[in-house]
Structure 1
Amino acid sequence: MLLIDDDALMLKYLSGLMQWDDLGISALLQTYSSVKALDLFKQEQPDIVITDIGMPQINGLQLADQFKRMKPDVRIIFLTCHEEFEYLKQAMNMNADEYLLKDKLFASQLEEALLKSMKALQQNAVQEARNSYQEDFVRNLDVLKTSFFKQLTESGGDEQAAVQYARRLGVKWRYPSFKMGIGHIQQSSLYGRYTQKDIELLRYSVYNIASEISERHEGISVFRHNGYLMVLMNYRNTATGTPQQDIQRYMEEVQRHVESFLKIQINFVCCMSELTLGGIAVANRRWQWERWQLFYENTDLLLWRWDRHCLLYPVPGSLKAYAKKVEGAVLEGAEGAVMKLLEEMRREASEKFVQPLEWIALCTELIRTLEVKLSVRAKDEMFYLSLDAAMSNDELIGLLRWRLSELMEQSKKPQQSKHSEPKLQAIDHYITSHLSDNISSIDIAHFLGFNPSYFSRYFKRLTGMNITDYMHRYKVGVAEQMLRNSDEKVEHVAAKLGYYERSYFSKVFKKYTGLTPTELREKIK
């Protein structure tokens, strides 16, 4: 607190008038100079100021004005010898806590004024805390909603508690019945307009569009979950209701707006079953298991019935033969033939209900083989993550069309980098084809037809590092892309890359990136 009065005796009287410690005021600053008062205020920033009004150089009203500019929430108590209306009017305009006359000042009056100021400070502090909490809550609302939905999909839990917590997040569920939809950005619609690095921003943009539209549709709430847009519609189950049509209309509106604003396509799978809140976890697990059954249902809004099943078959020799023809056509630069063959492959896979994971694996092998033969190094592993995430046969073929066209275009350009060295491309391909294996330099030497001892010297001369270091760098690069762009557990990522002890994987990962996998995940949240 700061006391200001140009009358030294009055200043001494004021400082002895109160038991300041009893009021919780331990730091009492005082000065008889208005100029020095400004310096003291700048340095100490007191919460309460008691100041005389009639002072030379700078009067109390002018001081208070400058204090308010430096600290808007400072509390001001004015002292004066004058009962002039103009002074009182100006003091009131400054929102002063009190206006006290010196010749009528008693300890009780000053204490009452101080308590009033301290109460106002407390109220301001409480309000600021509330505002800060509200700002933090709004800022973290999406994170809280995502965490909440993840809990729903993993366990279900106490339905009543879930409804109450959802209300705190601004989601009101009044009825026991739900419909669920899953939205997925069609990866093939990104290429040519966006890069894979834009995918997270696009997902968030889609979520924002869907959230805004949900405000116009009763009972609709949206969440983000593992890269998907999850839609829940809470509804009253009546004979006259049309919940299925309502959620479909909502999804179609989202599709139109996403295509209009972002120029990309979002596909939806809509569960036809009526769900309870606890049943959302069951539906999500079932969809994860059965989504490959829907792979050949090429539509942007698919109605999913749990009782519909189809048999899936291994990749036939005819499809592998088509892949060989595509490889030959790409090497010849015959783009028309490539596109025609891709259409035939699409039809063949669809008609024979080829197991999607095996079909995706064949497509991945085709691209990697061509990258080696054309000496075109993949920019990163993002494209392969897109292949793995393909939700339909049409999406998979769309990705192939884009990448094969890009490969044919890139193959026409001169390669300046040392990475155009064919043997290095072959080594990269071998490592990629054996990511989950513990391969050695001897394995690679045999693959290339080299003497193992000569190969070690040759590789060191080619790259400036030994093959073990190179393989770790290569795998860590793949691991970093997977950790950044998927929600897979660290253990699963490590196992896919041939590291079966998490501690060893973390040690290797930190050596080449400076962070452990967990630290990387925390950094990109």
Structure 2
Amino acid sequence: MRKVMIIDDDVPMLRYLERMIDWESLHLQVVATAFSSVKALELFREKDPDIVITDIGMPQIDGIELATRVREINPAVRLIFVTCHEDFGYARSAMHLQADDYLIKYELTTEKLMGSLQKASKLADESRERIDQLSFREELEHHKDQIKKQLWRLLSGKLDEQKVSQLLQKIGMRWEQPRFMLAAATVDYASLLEHYHYEDLDLIHYAFYNIAEETAADWAPVLIIPQEQAGKFVFILNYRPNLAVNIRKEFEAYLEKLREKIKSYLKIEMRGIISGELNGLGAIKTVHEQLMEAQQALYYKPWTISHLSDDAPSIWTVNDQEFKRYKDELLQANEKQDLSSLEAVLERMENYARTVMLKPQLYVYHLSQMLRSLDYEWNIQHEKEHLHALLPHIISSREALQLAKQHVGKLGGMQDRGETMKEPRLHEINEYISTHLAENVSSVSVANHLYLNPSYFSRYFKKIAGINFTEYVHRYKMDIAKQLFEQGESVEMVAIKLGYSDRTYFSKVFKKYIGISPLDYKSNK
């Protein structure tokens, strides 16, 4: 049974609310009442109610401030305001506190109060369920991640087979065969940053990991170990030899399927390299080192999924004298603010490094130094350190080149985004309105969001929608208002949620576009 607390400095009203409904029928119990905000805070700490019903206009501490304080004590408490104040300033404050309802006293009925309490109880249940599920999943996933990190330290360091077996059992796995196959996979960071930001890297790392595990579940119990560098993973397959099955081809097919899913769901590319057969746990460390060397050997080649081979290791050159000329050319192009020339220099530089087989670490060093020179010229700080930290982890020269070109394109506003970006589709505009419902959405704010000139956007919008932007926003919000009324929301709460400054203005707009007043619409439902 949920606990309820009622607060009102009008004692008769306090008693009226207490006797207004059958609390037990709603599985609720009034555990405290208070006519003083100061006393209410004391009782709140003592009784720990799940739902608070409070007046707003009270001496010493008003209901808004009181609600703010109880939320600081217990962020999960549900709030219902019952007040004689129709002032939209109060309603807006209630909205900011995510109150479940804002009820006007002279309009209050038993049915309205019961509806608000049922809504608050339901939201409390949903909130608790989400918190419990999230806490359980986070604890479980965190526990599994820690075990996998311990496993990898043992497998790639000082091996202890007994401890490995114990840790595997904790995550529900058993390695019963002495045969293994290893793979290493890395996201393509250039394709990732075409769609996301550096700050999203950990989130993409987690999404990649989940997709990899789901894909493996359809095939075989592959142990997937996330590496310290976000976007890198090791896959370990333990299997029983079978002459009728080519395990290496099966493993390759799994990685190809994973690659397709990553590209489809996340819009990014990946690369993977597969070992041959391994005998025993002791071979994992050595073979993983060989995979890393093989990745480097493929640095200047176009590849996605490859195999560890017995080819002779690559012979790298360390002759990097040519890069002084490239640096001079890059700075000259920069002085002219010529983006195409800057990109051309970067292309020639990568082509030279690939032709002479320059040691990858040297290519990365010079590329990073040149980009730092441009950053210095433009006094750019945003995201640059992310790029330089990422470059050494990239396993393809073309990928590094693409990242560099993306970075150059951001410098100094050299690209007029408003002219080069694709025209926005209506659903992108709707998405912006939906995420800013409680604000006064203007054509200027949307134009800025889309990097468009406001005048151009207004003309473009009327062309695709047939009406001006302001009228479109009102229509869009009124459709949502109808949905909210059908869910039992009050006029005050709907107006605030949709960003209107007062109830009267909102009612006029609603009647203009829907044909009847909000109260008539609610009563008809």
TM-score by length of 1: 0.50
Whose RCO is larger (CA < 8 A, sep 6+)? 2
Q: Which one has the largest radius of gyration?
A: 1
